[in-house]
Amino acid sequence: MKIDINTIKSIYLTVYFNNTVLANATGFLVNYKEEIYLITNRHVVTGRNNETGECLNSKLSIPNKLGVCLPYKIDNSICWKQFVLELIDEDDNIKWIEHPKYKGKVDVIALKLKDYGEREFCYNLMTNYVVNITSQVFIIGYPYGLNINPHIGKFGIWTSGSVASEPILDLNIKGEQLPVFLVDSKTREGQSGSPVIYYNLNGIDYERNGISIYSGTVIHEVGIYSGRINKDSDLGYVWKWSLIKEIIENDK
């Protein structure tokens, strides 16, 4: 047996203000037109609740750096290298890319990575798979910043959940319909920005026109997790996968 590639595709993030660690989070990579982008939540890089604007850190610190632990393949082994990305340029402009239409209302951003070419660890950006209500999905990330074996590398933890709202419908947030659906899952802080995938070892693929069965594992990217609707609920937001391409195409 070997480690599932999706366990490695989940990227461990450390949020900083200067040299002070503010939080841990999750991200993942996509490849678009030979460019590689890091995807995570907007609230991770702003340090603010995306709906209320409230500061998420008890010391009221706002992030200005993001630590990114990236996987590399050397011969038949995988190693990880830590990089620190500046979130704000010299003129106080943000370096991340937001959605061209919804702007900050969508809790998803992209950051272009320079000098990183490991496309094996990128997700398929062109997927447009729609899960069904009650479908089981998996959220792969780092709850509480937990890492299975820090002496070897960064391996994401799989949390299961079920689709709790009709995924073809947009969700009403603060009076506006936005491209997000709900999942019922026991997630915790640190999993913000995790990829959400449909994953079936038995090759079962639930398609719009019925069920197909394949000889291998079926994997579909379906969205980006961004946290629970409130601290007392197990319902969480999953932003639709199609948003990523729309955001990246806004890169100037």
Cα dihedral 95, 97, 100, 106, rounded to 10, equals -120
The reported pLDDT for the residue numbered 5 is 94
CB atoms within 10 A of CB 62: 16
Identify the structural domains of the chain with CATH numbers, from first to last. 5-248 (2.40.10.10)
Q: For residues 218-244, give the mean pLDDT.
A: 95
Q: For residues 73-87, give the mean pLDDT.
A: 92
- The more confidently predicted of residues 210 and 18 is 18
Distance CA 68, CA 95 (A): 15
- 53-66 pLDDT, tens digit each: 999 988 778 999 99
CB atoms within 10 A of CB 115: 6
Percent share of the chain, pLDDT over 70: 98
Confidence of residue 23 (pLDDT cuts 50, 70, 90): very high
User: In this structure, what are the phi and psi dihedrals at residue 72, rounded to the nearest 5 degrees?
Assistant: -130, 145
- The more confidently predicted of residues 203 and 189 is 189
Query: Residue 45: pLDDT above 70?
Result: yes
- The more confidently predicted of residues 163 and 215 is 163
